[in-house]
Amino acid sequence: MMKILIIVHSPLQLINVNEYLYKNELRNEDLHFVFHHVTNKREVDQTQNTFEYLKLKGKIKRYEYLNSGSLRNPLNKFKMLQELTSVKKDFYGIKWDKILIGDINSLVHSAIVGMFEGERIYVDDGNVIYSVVERLKNKSSSKEFTIFPYWKGLFMKVLGYDIKIRNNNVTLFTYYYGKIREKLSDFDIQIDQNNFTYLKKNQNRLELDDNVVYFIGTALCSNSIIEENYFKSLILRIAEYYKDKHVVYFSHRAENSDTLKIIEQVGWEVSANQLPIELSVIRRQTWPTEFGVFFSSAVDTLNDIYTINSFKAFLLKEEEIIDDGHKKNIRNVYNAYRDYANLRLISIG
C-alpha cells in the first residue's frame, strides 16, 4: 500500500487533491493529511465538511496555519519554526511514495515538503497560478529553483529548511492546463490535467430559474484588498443592476460579519455555506440564470464542473485596490477573463 502525505489549508485544495486521488485510483491508499488553518472557524468547518462530503479516509493532523507574509514579525518567525518542528516530529522517519501539496505559493507548505523524499504533486489553489507562472519566468534552465523572494529562501535555509522545487520530480495537477501548458513548456515539470471527474460523476441536475442570480463572494475587505466603504458602494450599484432578480450571495469563508451585513442590507439572500461553492450549488433546489462575481477561482472550477450559461465579473477600480501585489494579481485574472466565451466584464464604478 502506498503512503501518501497530503498538505492542504482550504476546501478547494482538498477538492483538487481528491480529484488527483480519484483519477489515479489512489483513494484507498494509506493517506495522511496535514490540515493547516488560519484562525477562522468557517475554514476549519468547511475543510472538515468537504473531507466528509468527498468520503475521504485517512489520518488527519491539524496545525495552526501561519501566513508566511508576516515573517518580518519575530514572534511569527518563532511560531512558524515551532509549527514546522511539530510536523517534523509527528512524521519523523516515514517514507512517502507521494506528497500532495495544496499551495505551491505557501512557504510553510514548501518547508514541510522539503523535509521528506517522495514524488511531489502540486494541486491548484485557485487563480494564484497566474502569478506563480509569472514568477517562474527565466527559471526554466534551472534544475532547482524557488518561487519565493531571495530573503525568504535565505531565511529558511538558515533555519535548515529546503524550499526549492526540483524540476525532475514534480507534477502540477491543474484545471488551468490549457492556459498555462505553453508557458511552462521549457520546464521539466510534468503537467497533468484536472478534469474534475469525481465531481462531474456525482453532480445533480437542477431546474433553471430565470429569476435567480448566484453571486460568488470574495474576501475583499478581510484580505485588505479594498476598503469597506468602496465595497459598500459597489454592492449598492450591483444591487441596483440586479434589482429585478433574487440574488443569493455565496459568502467566502474568510469574509467578516461587517461585509455580510452590507449584503443583507441590500436584500440579498446570504448563503451560510457549510461547503465550498463548488459543492454548495448542487445542494440548492434550482440553478441560476447567471453567476455574478468580482473575481474568484470559482469561476474556473464551476466552469469546468458544470454547464454555466453566463458569468458577469464586476470590475474593481485599480486605484481602489490597496496593495500593489493585489493589483497585479487581479489584473492578471481580469486579463484571463477576457478570453472566456461565457463571461462579461462589467465596469460599474
Please give the pLDDT value at position 142: 57
> Which residues does the chain have with pLDDT short of 70?
37-40, 64-74, 135-145, 166-169, 186-188, 349
Domains of the chain: 3-199 (3.40.50), 203-346 (3.40.50)
Give the separation between CA 15 and CA 13, rounded to whole angstroms. 5
DSSP conformational letter for 45: H
H-state helical runs in 160-196: 177-180
Instruction: Return all residues near 322 (Cβ < 8 A) that are at least 6 apart.
Output: 224, 225, 226, 227
Please give the pLDDT value at position 68: 46
Please give the pLDDT value at position 190: 82
Q: What are phi and psi of 113, to 5 degrees?
A: -60, -40
pLDDT digits (tens, 9 = 90+) for 109-167: 888 888 888 899 999 877 777 777 776 665 655 566 677 777 787 888 887 888 877 66
Please give the pLDDT value at position 37: 67
332: left (phi over 0), alpha (psi -120 to 50) or beta: alpha
pLDDT digits (tens, 9 = 90+) for 209-249: 999 999 999 999 988 999 999 999 999 999 999 999 999 99
Other beta carbons less than 10 A from residue 45's beta carbon = 16
What is the widest separation between alpha-carbon atoms in the chain? 61
- At 58, which helix (H) or strand (E)? none
Which has the closest alpha carbon to 133: 72, 161, 174, 97? 174
- At 245, which helix (H) or strand (E)? none
C-alpha cell at 7: 498538505
Please give the pLDDT value at position 163: 83
Which has the closest alpha carbon to 195: 303, 276, 99, 50? 303
Query: What DSSP string runs through 79-133?
Result: HHHHHHHHHHHHTTTPPPSEEEES-TT-HHHHHHHTTS-SEEEEEPBTBTHHHHH
Angle between helices 228-241 and 257-265 (to 10 degrees): 30
